[in-house]
Amino acid sequence: MELPNKKKLNQLDFLNNEIKNNDNEKPNFLNKSFSSSKVNNQNQSIENILILDTETTGLDENKDEIIEVGSILFNVNSKSVLSQVSFLFPVSSNEAENVNGISAEVTNIKQPWEEGLNFFLKLVDCSDLIVAHNVEFDKKWFGKGKLPKLEKKMDL
């Protein structure tokens, strides 16, 4: 039951307020300098955000492996999910199974992870900004193992 005279809150209102603030200034999360080819002009708006998450077989990027990549390409203006992908990389063991719930056996079921990776890289190309909950953890896996290094900056 809706309460009268109460404004419905949209989960994405905070993002809309950040993007379209009244001072015509950049939102707080854009006040950083980005060297990405798409976000090199301070006045250029962010239209597409790639929301990224990774799962790994452990915490050490020098001995553990990436086991899953998930991402959502989100359009800020329309507040719409444009595309999403999640895929598993085959691994021989997963010491972090109790944390991420992914068994090594499941990762070895035949599936097109290479095509998933290629599609993910296309989503990266379409994005103006990559964000992640734990960006310092996530970005250290790129450029290692099966994941290529990303040229775009990651934030948050």
Buried b (16+ CB within 10 A) or exposed e, 99-123: eeebebeebeeeeebeebbebbeeb
Domain for residue 94, yes or no? yes
Domain for residue 20, yes or no? yes
Domain for residue 35, yes or no? no
Determine the structural domain holding residue 73 and report its residue range: 13-29+47-155
Domain for residue 6, yes or no? no
Q: Report the pLDDT value the prediction gives residue 85, as an integer from 0 to 100.
A: 98
Domain for residue 7, yes or no? no
Least confident of 87-96, 97-106, 137-146: 137-146
Q: Which CATH number characterizes residue 91's domain?
A: 3.30.420.10
Domain for residue 17, yes or no? yes
Number of domains in the chain: 1
For the question of whether the overall pTM of this predicted structure is more than 0.85, the answer is no
Among the residues of 77-140, which ranges form H helices?
Answer: 97-100, 104-107, 113-126, 135-139
